[in-house]
Amino acid sequence: MNQTTNQPIQQSINEPTSLSRVVITLMKGVLYQDADPQLWQQFLTLQVRVRDYLAVLGLSLMLDEAEGYAWLQNLEAVDGEDAPPRLVSRRQLSYPVSLLIALFRRKLAEFDAAGGDTRLILSRDDAVEMVRTFLPEGTNEARLVDKIDAHINKIIELGFVRRLRGQKHIFEVRRILKAFVDAQWLREFDARLTFYQARFTEDSQEEIGEE
């Protein structure tokens, strides 16, 4: 009897804590189901309250439950009203980082089309080979690898890839990349690659460290 009576009281005590954990995690970046299954379940349970709370802050909750991730976007201004304060900042990416993101997204599309495993695992060497065709001949190999490492680190910070535990140069392309680089973007990929190749070559001295 006592156990049954105490259950809703315990739930009401824990709910604010769970709401805070969910909101704080989302404010820091992407919330992934596989990173914290328990927090993910709490998030799904509190989803309506999370949306309402974030809306007050001018943020919109984006969710792909099938893929298992959620993230935040700034609310768009309504006609005739001032835009809400921007809490999620836009980041200006260098051309090499943009190129790698584009290449990873295309690789993910090819991977999905082939079926099979749901996790796209790549190595640093794979990334180097992807970028190599965009570089002028004679690019310094050692400095190229160092720069690719730096660019991958930046993409990890953005939450689009993650290193596998205990494997410094092996990483997984996160499926949230599909949400930021959509099908229409992929259809324009060839034109984008032409643009990237031209700018990448122009900037190769600075960005890749060509000697």
Mean pLDDT of 113-132: 87
Of 74, 106, 133, which residue sits at a domain end? 74
Residues 68 and 100 in one domain: no
Instruction: Report pLDDT for 41.
Output: 94
Q: Give the span between the Cα atoms of 7 and 25, in whole angstroms.
A: 26
79 assigned to some structural domain:
no
Residues 172 and 118 in one domain: yes
Residues 122 and 179 in one domain: yes
70 assigned to some structural domain:
yes
Mean pLDDT is highest, among 16-20, 92-96, 166-170, 177-181, for 166-170
pLDDT band at 134 (very low <50, low <70, confident <90, very high): confident
137 assigned to some structural domain:
yes
Among the listed ranges 18-27, 108-117, 156-165, which one has the minimum average pLDDT value?
108-117
Q: Give the span between the Cα atoms of 210 and 143, in whole angstroms.
A: 7
120 assigned to some structural domain:
yes
Residues 104 and 171 in one domain: yes
DSSP assignment of 91-112: -PPPHHHHHHHHHHHHHHHHHH
Mean pLDDT of 159-186: 85
Distances (CA, A) of 66 to 32, 36, 40, 175, 195: 11, 16, 12, 11, 34
Residues 122 and 51 in one domain: no
Query: How do 69-74 and 31-32 pair as beta strands?
Result: antiparallel
Q: Is the pLDDT of residue 170 over 90?
A: yes
Q: What is the largest CA-CA distance in the chain?
A: 78
Residues 108 and 22 in one domain: no
Torsions phi, psi of 167, nearest 5?
Answer: -130, 95
Q: Which residues contact 132 (CB under 8 A, 6 or more apart)?
A: 139, 144
pTM: 0.64
Residue whose pair of structure tokens reads 């201004």 in the numeric block: 77
Residues 29 and 108 in one domain: no
Instruction: Report pLDDT for 8.
Output: 46
CATH code of the domain in which 175 resides: 1.10.10
Q: Which residues contact 87 (CB under 8 A, 6 or more apart)?
A: 27, 57, 58, 59, 72, 74
84 assigned to some structural domain:
no
Range of the domain at 150: 95-207
89 assigned to some structural domain:
no
**Of residues 135 and 57, which shows the higher confidence score?**
57
Mean pLDDT of 126-145: 78
Residues 143 and 55 in one domain: no
- Sign of the CA dihedral 23, 25, 31, 35? negative
Q: Give the span between the Cα atoms of 180 and 178, in whole angstroms.
A: 6
% of the chain with per-residue pLDDT over 70: 70
